[in-house]
Amino acid sequence: MGMPMMRAAIGAVLAILSAPICGGALAQDWPTRPVTMIVPYAAGGPVDTVGRIMAQGLGEALGQQVIVENIAGGGGMTGANRVAKAAPDGYTFLLGGSATMTIVPAINGKKTPYNSLTDFEHVIQFADSSRVLITRKDFPASLLKEFATYAKEHHDTMQFGSAGAGSGMHLCAVLLNEAIGEKITHVPYRGSALALQDLLGGRIDFLCDQISTAVQQIRGGTVKPIATMALSRADVLPDLPTAKEQGFDLDCASLSAFSYPKGTPEAIVRKLAEATNRAVETAFVRERLGTLGVAVEPPERRAFGYYAAHMPGEVKRSAAVVKAAGLAAE
């Protein structure tokens, strides 16, 4: 073997041997360019609002811009699948949570284009948002029992909206319908902002919206609040009783979390988790989320590995709820 060929062979071997080290170095240097956060719902909705607040906080924590990209459709499945199929290089992650990872897959079964347990590296859960039952402002009921009575008498003409079939808004309304013993017609939209627009216009009767979106409309008097759909009252709506206080055992809180495509290096996953923890501890992020009625998770629930470890149990629990509601795919 000539000297040039020997040098080339040695160089090739060294390149192979050093590949893991270079990969580790790339993870250590991450991020070196802007990072994209996929929000699987339309712009202007509650998840998008949380995402844009977090994008600013994460950008400061990471020292790189975090770009929000809205990919709506399929009750969140389209955007979640985009991340599941993305390159696992740390530059594309999902703002998901309860709907995209547990509820929607339970409803759609084998039609779900991704597997919540095997197609993602689940980074961290960082916030929790209650839902609230809101009606058009001229709705002839102010308490949940009055709402139930009215629904029994007008169920054939009433309509509720959601961010899409199988979305968290949809499932929460179905659980509400079961609790009051009536089946109300569902009108799915491509995002909660469009559903809210029709509620404001009086074209539908109610939504089970996230407080982060509903609170401003409630304060402005453009919708009527009926009940907080969580186990405790929200700090931003302290005078609005929970459904349970009004005699109905309902809890529709919505989790916010980040996930990467499967195979993303652990060093990068840890870095995003650490940056998220730094972001939610800043006064800016906490105050902005707080005004929306979004509560930052306690430190123990934000610990690295907590979200991933609890995912199988959440998937199982949501599947049972969806099956009980009669929404599971056959």
Summarised one tens digit per residue, pLDDT across range 236-275 is 899 999 999 999 988 887 889 999 999 999 999 999 999 9
- What mean pLDDT comes out for the span 65-74? 96
DSSP 282: S
pLDDT in tens, 193-245: 899 999 999 999 999 998 878 988 999 999 999 999 987 788 889 999 999 99
For 67, counting Cβ atoms within 10 Å of its Cβ (0-12 exposed, 13-18 middle, 19+ buried), the class is middle
Query: Mean per-residue pLDDT for 39-44?
Result: 93
pLDDT tier for residue 26 given thresholds of 50, 70 and 90: low
Q: What is the mean pLDDT of the chain?
A: 89
What is the CB neighbour count within 10 angstroms for residue 52? 17
The C-alpha angle with vertex 87 and arms to 82 and 90, in degrees rounded to 5, equals 100
- In the chain, what are the domain boundaries? 33-128+255-324, 131-229
Q: What is the pTM of this model?
A: 0.73
* pLDDT grade for 12, boundaries at 50, 70 and 90: very low
- Residue 13 is predicted with a pLDDT of 41
**Which helix or strand (DSSP H or E) is residue 225 part of?**
strand 223-229
Q: Which pLDDT score is estimated for 25?
A: 59
3-state DSSP helix/strand/coil % of the chain, to nearest 5? 50, 20, 30
Class of 131-229 in CATH? alpha beta
The yes-or-no verdict on residue 71 having pLDDT over 90 is yes
Number of C-beta neighbours around residue 150 at 10 A? 18
Which fold is adopted by the domain 33-128+255-324?
A: D-Maltodextrin-Binding Protein; domain 2 (3.40.190)
Round to whole Å and give the CA distance between 199 and 282: 35
Name the residue with tokens 């909705």: 45
Q: Which two tokens stand for residue 189?
A: 């939209």
Angstrom distance (rounded) from CA 198 to CA 133? 15
